[in-house]
Amino acid sequence: MARTLAACVLPAIAVAYSWLSIEDPKRSVEAVAVVALALVPALVPGRWPRIVAVGGAVVGAGWVAFSAKTWELLPLRDEQVLSPLAEDIRIGIADFYRVLLPLGPGANPEMHGLMLAAIFGFVLVISLLVAARRPVGAAAVTVFGVGWPATLIDESSVLVGAIALAAALSIPLVLRVRSGPALLAGVTAAALVVVGAAWASSATTIAREAALDWENWDLYGAPQRATGIRFLWDANYEGISFPPTETIVLSIEGPEHANYWRTSTLDLFTDDHWFEDLLWISRVDTAVAEMPRDRLLPSRAQNPDNWLEQDVEVHALVDDRLAAAGTPVALDSRRLGTVFRLGGGVLRVRDPLGDGQRYTVWSYAPDPAPAALARSQPRYPGLARRYLEVAGREFPIFGRQGRERMVRAMLRDPGYAHFAPYGQLYRAARQVVGRAESPYAAVLALESWFRERGGFRYDEQPPRTDGPPLVDFVTKTRAGYCQHYAGAMAVMLRMLGIPARVAVGFTSGSQEDGKWVVTDHDAHAWVETWFAGQGWIPFDPTPGRGTFGGQYSFASDSEAAVEALGRGDLNSTTALTREAPDIPFGEETAQEGRPRPFFAVALGLGALWIALVGFGKALLRRLRYLTRDPRRAASASRRELEEYLNDQGYAVAPSATLDELRLVVGEELGIDARQYATAAARARFGRPGDASLGAETARRELRSLLRRARAELSLWARFRGFVSLRSLRRGLL
């Protein structure tokens, strides 16, 4: 019973800690209560008494988690307790994919109860498997129970993996598992589950996607509800269909000139599509709050004189994102409750806003002159570099020396073979921008090419293709809607080394009685490009959709931008573009390339495990020698020899004498260990004066003996002994 409890303690603590990480503030007392209830059945002897104990523990856990009292679960009372309990569970599950984490237990009691139920369930299964002496199954459940919460919130995958692996390994060690295959199976199962959880958390950003559940980008893909219209903003290039009658979704008062009303940004391009990949930054809990400075905005964005005030009223729109021009810098949230601030200047509330709700937001929405953008140099800080990534790789910065050679090498790299078709987009971008001498020149050339000069047409039901949709859009069909235009231009800008992302929301709408009236037909996607000293600047490559009043953009029919493009320069000395030769590329071949993040995490966890085991054993050996007692020093050398033999697979009983150890060394290794055995015996049993000399001699002889033994071993045998758990397990028994 004591061994069972000892084997369950560390896994139970790890599971509870991991699940409590998704809650703030943490209610640890309730978690301790459900953990204790889950451990009780494993300590009850006998099959039927244990089953009864499990039933009692379940009832108790239900009381703690959902306030379901025992006597209310009697027959004829199901309609009073069981139905609400089932409803709480249903709401709790749904909220994990609707509410931003970490959750507030007071505001989300159903999620809190479900979290306690998960802790109870995992610990109960682990304890029962331990009681049944099933260490491999218990280890696998431990790792899964610790790793699952890491996929719901942004946690360190390496830290979670180390905790899960340590908890899982403690089970066979405490239970004294002596079967090598069983122990190896347990470690392997644990490592695989940890790697899977870590990969899901880091490579696919499940932690953030759980709070931002976007699956398809269909600008009018969800059915109309009684309370309004819902938009799904993620990437789908198969076509859109607007209803014949326009419906007002927003009315905005304040700005004199047209602006685009952004609701979110799509920052990650992978698997031929754009996805949202926003980091949770902070909460806006005060009534009127100025937000902390976004480090990608210029210092003048903190000056209220440069802010644009917008009074927004929501109409037939079902969305929990706040629409605003540019980048929000302050918010009046008195009628909204808690607002969550995400990366990219995106604001989100807990629940979708209702018809008639209002809020006031202040934004930094720059409208620079073309000459100011032309002077902006391609100096991009680390925070902006993530907007140069395409399908997992960062392209070199615009204008960097040797850039063409580096890009060609990337596109020819077998590890990037899945991205090979996009080489056509890069060639097209290079031909369009020519030898542009500034990022602005390249952006303006691409924008005008998509809108007028490239032969593209707007089509909400574009032709179907077999290849990557954006590649076929640019090179074959040249027909699509805003997602095609914005998605293709943003990819091409990143490949040119210019930070870009896709913004989604609404065009300005129409101005009526001093307000901007926005309808569902104004739903749109465009491009935002980052310029040093300016921040994020919007551009719109979609023909016929530009309605913002920026003088720098070809999309807004700005005379200054059109004139600059027509002249071929942006000032008296700077050329806009110069003709560039075609960029040839070799034929890409699909070969296996560099390890993906999944395998990188696996290698990291494996290295961590090796270091913990190997260096942990070395530290234990060194600590044993920290004594002035020659007899203890001799015992430490004897223990070191015994552990070496065990790690190499030679059976040595814990009670073996020095003479028996000498015989094993001679028979198995072919090395004469008589001098070591004699010196160790003198240290352990000799007179005080001889004992000290014997201890020093024994340690010196042991070093020589082990050096000769290792010289006869292969590298694999040395490594196997370094990571072997045999000696560590015996040392803990």
Q: What is the pLDDT of residue 169?
A: 82
In the structure encoding, which two tokens stand for residue 684, read together? Answer: 């352990």
Question: Residue 330: helix, strand or coil by DSSP?
Answer: strand
What HEC string does 255-285 produce? CCCCCCEEEEEECEEECCEEECCCCEEEEEC
N-term to C-term CA, the chain: 16
Question: How far is residue 275's CA from residue 261's CA, in Å, rounded to a whole number?
Answer: 19
Q: Which stretch of 142-146, 173-177, 357-361 has the lowest confidence by average pLDDT?
A: 173-177
Q: How many of the other CB atoms lie within 10 Å of CB of 537?
A: 22
- pLDDT tens profile 153-193: 554 556 777 788 788 888 888 887 555 555 555 555 555 55
Q: Is the peptide bond before 499 cis (omega within 30 degrees of 0)?
A: no
Q: What is the pLDDT of residue 285?
A: 65
Q: What is the pLDDT of residue 668?
A: 73
Owner of token pair 């998509």: 450
Owner of token pair 């913002």: 548
Asked if pLDDT for residue 593 goes beyond 80, the answer is: no
**Percent of the chain residues past pLDDT 70, beyond the cut:** 77
- pLDDT tens profile 283-306: 876 667 788 888 899 989 989 999
**Backbone torsions φ then ψ of 11, nearest 5 degrees:** -60, -40
Question: How far is residue 248's CA from residue 646's CA, in Å, rounded to a whole number?
Answer: 77
In the structure encoding, which two tokens stand for residue 19, read together? Answer: 């699940």
Strand-pair category, 479-480 with 457-458: parallel
- pLDDT tens profile 520-545: 999 999 999 999 999 999 999 998 87
Q: Which residues contact 117 (CB under 8 A, 6 or more apart)?
A: 34, 61, 62, 65, 66, 89
Question: Residue 322: helix, strand or coil by DSSP?
Answer: coil
Question: How far is residue 247's CA from residue 179's CA, in Å, rounded to a whole number?
Answer: 69
Q: How confident is the model at residue 224 (pLDDT cuts 50, 70, 90)?
A: very low
What HEC string does 136-196 produce? HHHHHHHHHHHHHHHHCCCCCHHHHHHHHHHHHHHHHHHCCCCCHHHHHHHHHHHHHHHHH
Residue 16 exposed, middle or buried by CB count within 10 Å (0-12, 13-18, 19+): buried
Rounded to the nearest integer, the mean pLDDT of the chain is: 79
- What is 370-506+524-567's CATH topology? C8orf32 fold (3.10.620)
Question: How far is residue 461's CA from residue 238's CA, in Å, rounded to a whole number?
Answer: 7
Q: What is the pLDDT of residue 96?
A: 52
Question: How far is residue 159's CA from residue 210's CA, in Å, rounded to a whole number?
Answer: 20
Identify which has the larger pLDDT, 181 or 30: 30
Name the most confidently modeled range: 295-299, 499-503, 595-599. 499-503
Residue of 547, 527, 545, 549 lying closest to 537 (CA atoms): 527
Q: What is the pLDDT of residue 386?
A: 92
DSSP string, 89-119: HHHHHHHTTTSPSSB-TTT-HHHHHHHHHHH
Asked if pLDDT for residue 351 goes beyond 90, the answer is: no
Q: Is the peptide bond before 102 cis (omega within 30 degrees of 0)?
A: yes
Question: How far is residue 451's CA from residue 540's CA, in Å, rounded to a whole number?
Answer: 8
Q: Are 236 and 483 in contact (CB under 8 A)?
A: yes
DSSP string, 184-242: HHHHHHHHHHHHHHHHHHHTS-HHHHHHS----EETT-SPPBTTBEE-EES---S----
Question: How far is residue 152's CA from residue 709's CA, in Å, rounded to a whole number?
Answer: 50
Owner of token pair 């996009």: 422
Owner of token pair 């604001």: 347
pTM of the predicted model, to two decimals? 0.52
Q: How many of the other CB atoms lie within 10 Å of CB of 578?
A: 12
Identify which has the larger pLDDT, 435 or 491: 491
Question: How far is residue 42's CA from residue 3's CA, in Å, rounded to a whole number?
Answer: 11
Asked if pLDDT for residue 352 goes beyond 80, the answer is: yes
Where do the domains of the chain lie?
A: 2-211, 370-506+524-567, 625-732
Q: Are 436 and 577 in contact (CB under 8 A)?
A: yes
CA distances to 253, 389, 511, 517, 535 from 257, in Å: 11, 33, 9, 13, 19
Which uninterrupted H or E stretch holds 32?
A: helix 28-39
Asked if pLDDT for residue 697 goes beyond 70, the answer is: yes
Owner of token pair 């809607």: 481
Q: How confident is the model at residue 650 (pLDDT cuts 50, 70, 90)?
A: confident
Q: What is the pLDDT of residue 218?
A: 40
Asked if pLDDT for residue 132 goes beyond 70, the answer is: yes
**Percent of the chain residues past pLDDT 90, beyond the cut:** 32
Q: What is the pLDDT of residue 47?
A: 84
Strand-pair category, 393-394 with 389-390: antiparallel
